[in-house]
Amino acid sequence: MSPSPQDVLRFVPANEASWDDLQAILTGMASHCHCTRERLGDGDYFPMPEHERAALFRAETHCGDPRATETIGVVGYLDDDPVAWCAVDRRSDYGRVRGSPVPWKGRHEDKDDDRVWAIPCMVVRRGFRGRGFTGQLVKAAVRHARERGAEAIEGYPMLTEGREVTWDEFRVGPVSAFTAAGFSEVSHPTKRRVVMRLEF
């Protein structure tokens, strides 16, 4: 079912969003991570103080600088409310993706291939969940990657199998959101995780 007109988000590259807007979205565990765990990998992430994670995230998003040529995600707005964030960048830039067995089980690919992008995590702000915004986030991330020269994009979503899942666990997104955006299953490395990919 298509979202009603009032539930259609407007998306911008993260550098066109303000730091305050990003902070409004990243609550709960996301406020501690600042989307740095996927980029750094666990070995570098856990020793880093939270204020340094925030500073790194702010520097890499270039938020508040619409002239920046690089950024690492997209931000969704409902009218003027910032409600959703999706990390999207070259797969090779995500240390945790590179180091995790999940994306690579049964596959033999060049981890340094910059032509492949990835969507490792996303957040919908509390109070705006359950309205189909994750599907819109994935489609916006696909557009973002395609416009910047990606030849393929991957995600690593979760099968809920009827179980209740916390948002911190669900940051990888549901399989249904990726299927709706045209992704196909590449592998099923664990009971609850699926590798999905879209070729451009």
- Shortest CA distance to 158 belongs to which of 146, 176, 143? 176
Specify the number of domains making up the chain.
1
| pLDDT tens digits along 59-107 | 999 999 999 999 999 999 999 999 999 999 999 999 999 999 999 998 9
> By residue range, what is the domain housing residue 159?
5-199
Give the pLDDT band of residue 169 (cuts 50, 70, 90). low
168: pLDDT strictly greater than 70: no
Write out the two tokens for 8.
């259609």
Write out the two tokens for 142.
């696909």
Give the mean pLDDT of the chain. 91
Report the CATH number that the domain containing residue 46 is assigned in CATH: 3.40.630.30
Q: Which residues pair with 29 in a beta bridge?
A: none
Give the pLDDT band of residue 50 (cuts 50, 70, 90). very high
1: pLDDT strictly greater than 50: no
> Of all residues in the chain, what percent carry a pLDDT higher than 70?
92
